[in-house]
Amino acid sequence: VQLQASGGGLVQDGGSLRLSCVASGRIVPSFSTYSMGWFRQGPGKGREVVAAISRNGETTHYADSVKGRFTISRDNDKNTVYLQMNSLKPEDTAVYYCGARQGVLATVLRRGGDYWGQGTLVTVSS
């Protein structure tokens, strides 16, 4: 499974961005068997989970720092997961990664992804 993340960029404090992560390659048996997560790593920090979504999209999880500002969604027909980021703050500056892991939502939250995208840089200026 290959994951391609995109949508990062430079935005001002309070702005918005939408990240996308497309899965391709040998996705067995299907994209809908993978729980998906967005993670980030800021300057001098470790990787942290930002948001995650269950296989059918009905259950989501958010880090406290992004609740009410970020929304994760997925389109299983397009093998794609999204992260809509609103009201961005300078502390959201980080490289954002998508991760995929087969199984229930809790597994991607606890263990991260079996597969990772290459990361997309989000920079929020004050």
Cα–Cα distance for residue pair 47/29, rounded to 1 Å: 28
- pLDDT for residue 122 is more than 90: yes
- 120 membership: H or E segment, kind and range: strand 120-125
Reported as type and span, the H/E element at residue 96 is strand 94-102
Tell me the pLDDT of the chain averaged across its residues.
96
C-alpha 89 chain-centroid distance: 17
Q: Report pLDDT digits (tens) over 39-89.
A: 999 999 999 999 999 999 999 999 999 999 999 999 999 999 999 999 999
Task: Give the model confidence (pLDDT) of 93-109 as tens digits.
Answer: 999 999 999 999 999 99
